[in-house]
Each structure stands twice: as structure tokens, then as C-alpha cells.
Structure 1
Amino acid sequence: MKPTTTRKRASTPRSKNGCVTCKIRRLKCGEEKPSCLRCLKSGWHCDGYEHISKLPSVGAMGLAPIRSRSLSTSPSASPTPSRSSSQSVPNLDEREAVYFQTFFKDVAPQFQDYAPFWHFARKESKSSYSIRHGLVALGALSKSAQRSPSNHYRVDLTQGTHREIALEQYQKALQSLRESIPGIDEGNPVRTTLVSCLILSCFENFLGNAGFSLQHITWARHVLTTSETLQASSSTSTTKVVGEGEDIVMSSFYLMDLQALCFLGADETRTYFKFDQTSPMVSLPAKFNNLDKAKNARHMLVWNGYKTWYNTDFYQYGPKEVIPPSVIEVRDYLVGQIHALHGQIDLLLLGSTSDPHHHPLARPEAIKVYSTTLLIRLAMSLQAPQTTSDLLLAEFEYLLVMARRALEYEAEGMQMIQGIFQSKTISDTGTEGEVYCVEVRTLNILHLIATKCREPSIRQHAIALLLAVHRRESMYDSILAGKIGQWMMDMEEEGADENGDIPEHARVWGECVELELQRRRARVKCRQNVIGGGWIWRETQISW
């Protein structure tokens, strides 16, 4: 028997003092300052030469909490593992176990709509290398940024130990996911791949890499639409996908893919995964006894309504005559039910009081926010006239008020948006730092107003709020959203009539955003109606 020989890996000589990006990628660094030439030529973001943790100073960011929770507002200088910390986390060393526990203690509770998903992910991490190290990466990344009591992270652009470890763990998770792909239909559960994709998408959102985040979601959608095992799940219960956690994973994927569709739009090439085709009809009682029951009804209406909007969005980009009348009837039914629900809620609110110490989005008057955004999207779907938005000015104004109240509350006296509306031009507003929140709160609202509302005052206020401070919420980016809204508004105002009104033939719609991967730049397209019918493409490049 021949003696076993160790196969040596060919490698490029690396410098001990190279930038963090080159160290992670195992490449030789030229050590140019402030950014190395290898990163610049490759289009990568150079993470610099800070190999020793330099974390933000202790202190709150001046942001008020959305809910009561006992939190530490400053990250520790370095992880300090205890001997017992790794006992409940199999196959992790003590340092990794600390970050794993950090994620579930400090970060996971912030994803209010994903609580069952994270519980299931923790269970799946016992058997999935990719899931396990993806969660460690998120925990380490959260330690690299300063967190406020309201669960906002002040993004620290300097490199530190926590961030470097996060990138290393992310690479481990990504490599494991890639290695598992060939075995998806040969025994590796589809749901494990989906969970890994969603976790890595969350990691990229935290970093501000929406393009990479979208890639993970797109791959998850590809797995769903092409996997024979999943396609068979509707008729058999013996497939590899069906089982414990399937509904949880599918619901979480739906929420993330829906968010990507709302923010980045779509074109004719986008793929969709058809969710369950159960009836979206939601019957409402003649009267609600209290707001809690109205809130429960709203939850069901919003859930079914957004599934309907998602499942029928592809009709927006084809011939109008192919849209089945039954689909339009369902849309009109849901719009009518939302109006009926809001009427009952308005009556209940007459006798209610609000606690000013509560976050505005947690007060009774905010109960209509989610259903109002759905109402606008449904009413303007299925190639409805763009002038439909003119009938929804009360809804747009309500959303603007709620978003501004939320930002003012979180900024403690308008510290983040003070004086914006006194500036002569919206483009004069700058950004001072970058704030990140794992959940979507206000940017979806303001983005919807900036792109769909044609009333100048409301629209301009929404754009001003978006551009006031660089704020990110999950995949949403306020600067990108504000610049898209500004571009669309400028185009439409070119075609305004003598009264300042924007006729149907001058309105733009169907915006689609293509994000670059290595830098914050996007190609934005939209359709603009023309006189006599039809539309033309309009396009621009946006950097931020």
C-alpha cells in the first residue's frame, strides 16, 4: 500500500499586513492606502487594514424604542466565551458559540414577523453546517455595530474583529451551501437550502449589500420553482420538502420575496413561485366589538391580499386582454373589504386614546397602515389607470403622517429630519452616517408614496424624508428609494398640463431596479405612457 500523501493547496503569497478583504479572499494585497488596488480594480469594497477591533463608543443613538425591551446599547469590545456557552450549540467552538447565542438573544427577537422561522432555523442548525455558521455570522456582525434601545444599528464602516469574524463565518456558510446544491434532489432537503438562503440574505441586508441579498432570494425562488420534490408536495406527503417546518419556511420566503418585489419591482423576465391557491375571500362581521378583533381581521385580510397581489403581479407586464375577469373581480372584492374594514376601525377609534410614550406604529391609529399600503397596491394593479392614485389621496396623506410621526419619535424631537422642508431643493439634503434596522418600518411607506402618489406636496415630503438621513430597513435603502422617487417625479412633471396636473399619458409606472453587486449603483427602468396608447421605456443610473 502506498503511503498516504497530503495534497498541498496552491496558494498565492499573502501579506500579513494586507487589507481585510484580501485576507478573507486569500489573495495577495498590494497594501495601498486607504484602499488597495486589487480591491479597486476588482470592484470590491476594501475593508481596510484595521485588524484590531475599533468599536463605537458607548452611548445611545438618540432613538426611542418601538417596544419595551431590556437591551444593552453598546457592543462588548470582544467576545468573552464562557465554558458553558457552547454546550447547547453542537459543532461550534466556544467563540462561535458566543456569537450564535448573541444572535438569538439580541437579534432574532427584532424580526417580529419571523419568530417561528428563527426557532426552526435553530433546530435545523444542529444538522446543517451552512445554517449554523450563517447564524454565527449574523451574531458576529451585530456586535460590530452600535445598537440603540429602538433596535437601530449605527453602521460602523471601520473594520474590527467582530466584522472580520462575521465575514469568515459567512464564507463558511456560503461554501457549505454551494457544496450542498448538487444533492438537493438526491436527499438534501429543499427546506434546508431555503433556510440557508434566507439567512445569508439577512446577512447581506445587514451589510447593505442588497444586490447580493437579492441573489440569495432569487436562488431560493429558483430552487422552489424547479425542484420536482416541491412540485409534488401538493399531491403527496412523502416528499423531502413536506414535513415539520415547511409552512414556516415557505411563509418566511414569501415575506422576503414580497419585500424584494415591492422595493425593486419586476420586469417580464422575473420568475414567480405560485403560492397556495386557496380562496382569498375574507368575510367581515357586521361589527367589531373591539380593536383587537379588528386587528385580527386586518391580519387575515392583509395576508390573503398580498398573496393575491403577488400571484397576479405578472399580469402587469403582458397584454391586458389576457387578464381573466375573475382575477379582476377578486382584486375589486379585496379593495372593497379593506374599505369596509377601515370604516369599522374609524368608528372604534373614536373612543380610543393613545399613549404618547408608545411608538406611533404601535398606537391604535396605526392599525390601518399595513392594510392601507395593500389597498393602494391592489387598486393600482392589473394595469389599472395610473390616475387611480388620484382617488387615494386620503390614504397617501394618512401614510405620510404615520411615517413622519414614527421618524420624529425615533429621532427624539426631529433631530434626524429637522429643517428638511425649509431647504430650497431636496437634493441639498445630505446624510450623516448610516442607520440600519432589521425590520421594515417606514421606508416601504415612503417609497410607495414617492413612486405612486402624484399630489406634489405629499410626494415631495415623502422624498424629503427619504433623503434626509441614510436609513436602511431590511432590503430597503432610503437614499436609493428617494432618488428613484425624485427621478420619476421629474419625468412626470415634464408632461404636466397648464394646471400642473399630470395626465395619464405622461405618467410612469412599472419601475424595475437592477442592483450592481460590488458597488452602490443601480440601473432603474420604468414605463411611461404615451399619447394614443402604449408606453416607452425610460432608464437612468443611480449611485448612492
Structure 2
Amino acid sequence: MSPLASLKGSPIRPKRSRRGCRTCKIRKVKCGEEKPNCIRCTSTGRKCEYEGKALGTFSSASSATSMLDSPLSLSPNTVWRERRSFAYYFQHAAPFVGGSLDVDFWRVIVPQVCRSEPAVWDAIIAISALFESPDPCPDLALERGREIRTLNQNHRDALTWYSRSVSAVRQRIERGDVDIFVGLVSCILFICIEALQGALAEAAQLYDQGIRLICALRAQTASGTVPAAKIAWLEDTIVPIFVYLGAIGYSIALVPVGSLLPCSDPAMALEFPSLKLARDIIILLAAEIQIFQRVCDDNFVQSHASQVSQDLKLRQMVLSAKLKKWHLAFINLKESLRKRNALTPQDIGTGALLFSYHETLFIMLGTCMSPSQITTDAYLPNFQNIVDQCGIALDATAQSDSTQPPFTFGISVGLPLWFTSLRCRDPRIRRAAVALLRRAPQVQGLYKCAAGVSLAETVMMLEEKDGIESSPNSLHPGTVETTPAVFVPEEARLGPIGVIDLDNGIPPDMTDEEVHKWNQRGCRNFLRISRDQCDLASDTWQRVHEYILLDH
């Protein structure tokens, strides 16, 4: 059992302090006391001011210095290699792991917690070691004539520290004195470690446990046993991270992100005070619209009908109105930042990324009410926008050597580009999307780009082999520059693509031979695709279903 599975009943110990910022004091709310700007103020776009000297907390600018200059006794379990790994985390990993919008969590909150929580310290340095050496098995050796892989020193250190972190959390659980908020921070760090190792199934399992912790805290909130400051920290900092992970992981792992969505449709502001709030809202919409799209796909598959209910049509209208309102507020925010000359290169990249999400969701909503696969052809300019904007976003997140970081927990290009590579049937645009996916951070939350590229190329091969095989420039996966600018014919296009987990039951149209073959390989997760296949003997097209191994 995961060390986080038993945190539901853990005690929560609020702390009292008079060192909060002036803004929070005026508003009579609990301040988190982060310096130079507290999270409560920055998350709501308010100006944050402190009275007198800053005492007893970290600031974004000085966190690395203050931690690294502290006596060894203040940092738990410190040896030279651990201190080096912590320094690498601050200098190289933290700026990229959470992106520019969540830098406070990764460079302020996590280091604050690690000073008193050895498990969090160990998790941080494990992340740092994996970030520095993202390939877990770079070295090859021979043993009794067999090729084996050996771990490098960084990866061995990371596994040691991770194991120690897990053990520390378990010990705290057994003693019954673990704070549930520390448990949530640990959960996020553990997801990060598993994802960096390519263990996305384990990361998804940890995600499920994190969702249960959040739901438990929300239940305590309803009973009035959780301080207001911690409620705000949960909703403003932790929940957006889990919503984003769920939004990008929903299509491949069906993680329960729906548990975090509001039960009703809250009114959306006409103006956003910050890019962070704009990001949080578009990610909520991304989760909600993807869930709605799946409901529509299931409706067509199960009913074999081309009509949808009035309830679905009404829901589409509501979601479209929310997306339109978001876009208007986003345009106003960008114009305001431009007039104030407040757009940094990172802000420009973030704005491009958010716009690519808008275009993705706009296409999803516009096409999900029809089972026809040619409806996406009307959105060619939007697909082109996605590719263009994702290119701008990747330029903004490049490291000093022009490469992308190996991993990011912040909003990234995976979802828009993967959607484009699957749903756009213009060969050049979809190949441009795949080319950008190859440039992107190879692990984005619960999403692994290599698996997305492999799937996209498989889909292209299946569609284009039947569709334009006779073209003089025959299409093959990976050939970006030689493909003709023609759409894949309607009859060759793949239908709804869904994730199948054999542990939840065997689909009725999967043959016994297929089940036996997959069981022999130990495979449990598949993509189910529907497609029209040409019968050369009768010169007709027939609907068939196929299953493709989803290899993380």
C-alpha cells in the first residue's frame, strides 16, 4: 500500500502568527507569510505589502542562498551529495519543473516544508537527481552473455533518497502524527519522481490517492475544522496542480479529475487579474470539456445514433459560453499587460500556450456533437494556430542550451499537440505537431511524449496507408517535409479513440486470440479505435474495431 493511503484521519495543526502581510490583515484573512509576496495575494492578483522587516520565512529571491548557507544541522540527513543535489534543484530544476506560474510552490513552499520534514527533503533531492539524469538506465553491461542495464550514480542516489522518503512518510503515518497538508505536498513530489522514472501507472495511482486526500480535506472544510488559510492554500495552490495533471492525463489514464470540478457553474469574471488565474480557469475548462467529449463519444458508440439529446446540446451551449467568456477576459488581460509594458518573454510564451489550449477546446466543443470525422476539417486555421502558438511557447521554455527540460509539472504543449496530431487530417500540420512534440519536455505530468509520438505515427500510418497510398509522395510516419497538402479521405479516418483497461473487463468485440496474445505480453491498457477498412474483393468499406497497445 502507498504511504499516502492512510492519511485521511491525520491531524491538522494550524499555527498562529502575527507576521502576515498588511493586505491580509486588512482583509482579516490568514496570511501564508511567504516573502516578498504571499501566495494568497499573488493568487488573487492583489498587491502584497509587509510591515517592517521580513522575519522567519523564505523569499523567492533568497530561498536558495538561505537554505544552502544554513548550518548542516538545519538540513535533515545532509551529506555532500545531498547538498549538491539540493543546489542543483534550485539552480536548474525548480525554475522549470513547475513553470513560471507555479514557481512559488516549487521554490518557496516546498523548501519551507523540507526544513522540518525529512521526507520532503529526500523527495526534493531525488527529483533533482532524476532531473539532472533523466535517462534511468544509460549504462549497459554484460552478465552471463545477456545485455543488462545498470543505473548511473545519480539514479542510484535518487532511488535511495526516494525509498528513504517513502519510509519516513510511512513511519509518520504509523505514529499518527503526519499533517495531511504535508501528505499532499509529498504526494505531488512522489508523482513527480514516478513520472520521471517513466512509471506512469504508479504516478496515476498516487494521483488517485491525492484526490482522496483533497476530498477528505474538503469534507473537513464543510464541518469547519480546517483553518481558512489552509483552505485557501488547498484551493489556490494544490487543487490547480491536480486539475492540470488530471486534464492532461485524462485521455490516456482516465484519472478521476472530475472529482475536483465544481458541482455548479460559478460565474466567471470578465477580467483576469493575472495569467495564473487565466491558466487555472482554462485548465478547469479543459478537464470539463474532455469529460463532456467522452460522454458524447460514448453516446455515439453505444446508441449507434447520429443524434444527441437535448441535455447534451444544452451542456455544449453552456460550455461554449464559458469558453467564449474566458477568451474575452484573456484578450483583455493581454491588452492590459501590453499597455503597461508588463509582458515578459515568459509571459508571452505562457500566453501563447493558453491560447493553444483555447483553440484545442474550441475544436473539441465544435466537433463533439457529430460522429462524423470530417467535421474537424472546418477548423484547419485553429489547428494551425495550435502549432504556431506551441512553437512560441517552447521557445520561451527552452533552457540556456536551447534544449527543453526533461520534465515539467507546469502547463505545457502535450495536450494541444497530441490532439492536433490525432484529429487534424492535414498531413503537414499534423506532422508539424509531432515534430514539436519531439522538442517538448519528454515527460509532462502524467503524459509521456514518446508514447504520444508513437501513437500519433501509428494513427497516421493506418489512416494514410488506406487513404492516399497511391500518391507519388507516399506518407510514412516521421516524414515532415515531403508530404502532399491533401486531407485524408473521410472513409480512411479513424473513429473515436478510447482508453481500454482490461482490468475493468474485456470489450465484447475483442477476440479470444487478441486477449490471449495481450495476456502473454502482460499488457493491460489499450487504445480502442474504430475505422473503415476497404475490402478489395468487394470494393466496399466496412467498419472495424482495433486495439493498440498503450505503451507508457
TM-score greater than 0.5 by the shorter chain? yes
Partner of 1:436: 406
Q: Distance in 2 between matches of 1:163 and 1:109?
A: 21
Partner of 1:512: 499
Partner of 1:243: 230
Q: CA deviation at 1:283?
A: 5.0
Q: CA deviation at 1:167?
A: 1.0
Deviations 1:466-488 (A, max 9, x none): 45899444443333111211222
Which region of structure 1 is more displaced relative to structure 2, 205-214 or 341-350?
A: 341-350
Partner of 2:112: 123
Q: CA deviation at 1:330?
A: 1.6
Deviations 1:500-541 (A, max 9, x none): 65438953224327799xx9988431342679xx98642113
Q: Distance in 1 between matches of 2:117 and 2:342?
A: 46
The change in CA–CA distance for 1:246 and 1:161 in structure 2 (over 3 A counts) is: same
Task: Return the letter of the residue paired with 1:157.
Answer: P
Contact 1:131–1:173 (Cα < 8 Å) also in 2 = yes
Q: CA deviation at 1:101?
A: 4.8
Q: CA deviation at 1:195?
A: 1.9
Is 1:176 aligned with 2:171? no
Task: Return the letter of the residue paired with 1:254.
Answer: V
Map of 1:90-129 to 2, 5 A cutoff? Answer: 90=76, 92=78, 95-110=81-96, 111-112=98-99, 113-118=101-106, 119-129=108-118
Q: CA deviation at 1:314?
A: 6.0
Is 1:157 aligned with 2:138? yes
Partner of 2:317: 329
Is 1:302 aligned with 2:282? yes
Is 1:315 aligned with 2:307? no
The DSSP-based 3-state class of the residue aligned with 2:72 is coil
Task: Return the letter of the residue paired with 1:540.
Answer: I
Q: Distance in 1 between matches of 2:531 and 2:465?
A: 13
Q: Given the alignment, which residue of 234, 250, 258 partners 2:247?
A: 258
Task: Return the letter of the residue paired with 2:138.
Answer: L
Q: Distance in 2 between matches of 1:234 and 1:310?
A: 28
Q: Distance in 2 between matches of 1:273 and 1:343?
A: 30
Q: CA deviation at 1:165?
A: 1.6
Unmatched 5+ stretches in structure 2: 1-59, 62-66, 140-150, 300-307, 471-485, 503-517, 534-541
Partner of 1:36: none
Deviations 1:42-70 (A, max 9, x none): xxxxxxxxxxxxxxxxxxxxxxxxxxx99
Q: CA deviation at 1:397?
A: 0.5
Q: Distance in 2 between matches of 1:410 and 1:195?
A: 24
Q: CA deviation at 1:331?
A: 1.2
Identity %: 16
Q: Distance in 2 between matches of 1:254 and 1:116?
A: 18
Partner of 2:127: 138
Partner of 1:486: 457
Contact 2:422–2:459 (Cα < 8 Å) also in 1 = yes
Q: Distance in 2 between matches of 1:528 and 1:540?
A: 11
Is 1:196 aligned with 2:186? yes
The change in CA–CA distance for 1:242 and 1:354 in structure 2 (over 3 A counts) is: closer
Task: Return the letter of the residue paired with 1:509.
Answer: P
Map of 1:79-98 to 2, 5 A cutoff? Answer: 84-90=70-76, 92=78, 95-98=81-84
Which region of structure 1 is more displaced relative to structure 2, 346-355 or 188-197?
A: 346-355
Q: CA deviation at 1:125?
A: 3.3
Q: Considering fraction of residues, name the structure with more helix.
A: 2
Contact 2:297–2:496 (Cα < 8 Å) also in 1 = no
Contact 2:130–2:155 (Cα < 8 Å) also in 1 = yes
Partner of 1:459: 430
Q: CA deviation at 1:348?
A: 9.6
Contact 1:387–1:504 (Cα < 8 Å) also in 2 = no
Q: CA deviation at 1:171?
A: 0.8
The change in CA–CA distance for 1:410 and 1:193 in structure 2 (over 3 A counts) is: closer
Task: Return the letter of the residue paired with 2:415.
Answer: N
Q: CA deviation at 1:241?
A: 11
Q: Distance in 2 between matches of 1:415 and 1:230?
A: 42
Equivalenced residue count is 421
Is 1:390 aligned with 2:382? no
The change in CA–CA distance for 1:493 and 1:508 in structure 2 (over 3 A counts) is: farther
Q: Given the alignment, which residue of 220, 226, 229 partners 2:210?
A: 220
Contact 1:86–1:98 (Cα < 8 Å) also in 2 = no
Q: Distance in 1 between matches of 2:136 and 2:229?
A: 39
Q: Distance in 1 between matches of 2:351 and 2:229?
A: 39
Deviations 1:261-311 (A, max 9, x none): 25x2539xx6742333353443547xxxxxx97968844652452353366
Deviations 1:53-109 (A, max 9, x none): xxxxxxxxxxxxxxxx99xxxxxxxxxx98845344246556535534543443223
The change in CA–CA distance for 1:85 and 1:455 in structure 2 (over 3 A counts) is: farther
Deviations 1:24-50 (A, max 9, x none): xxxxxxxxxxxxxxxxxxxxxxxxxxx
Partner of 1:10: none
Map of 1:255-294 to 2, 5 A cutoff? Answer: 255-262=244-251, 264-266=252-254, 272-277=258-263, 279-284=265-270
The DSSP-based 3-state class of the residue aligned with 1:539 is strand
The DSSP-based 3-state class of the residue aligned with 1:512 is strand
Q: Distance in 2 between matches of 1:415 and 1:91?
A: 35
TM-score by length of 2: 0.60
The change in CA–CA distance for 1:132 and 1:410 in structure 2 (over 3 A counts) is: closer
Q: CA deviation at 1:166?
A: 1.3
Q: CA deviation at 1:344?
A: 7.1
Is 1:538 aligned with 2:550? no
Unmatched 5+ stretches in structure 1: 1-68, 71-80, 146-152, 286-291, 417-433
The change in CA–CA distance for 1:491 and 1:348 in structure 2 (over 3 A counts) is: farther
Q: CA deviation at 1:390?
A: 2.2
The DSSP-based 3-state class of the residue aligned with 1:279 is coil
Deviations 1:447-473 (A, max 9, x none): 121122122321133234445899444
RMSD: 5.1
Q: CA deviation at 1:170?
A: 0.5
Task: Return the letter of the residue paired with 1:190.
Answer: I
Q: Given the alignment, which residue of 480, 503, 528 partners 2:530?
A: 528
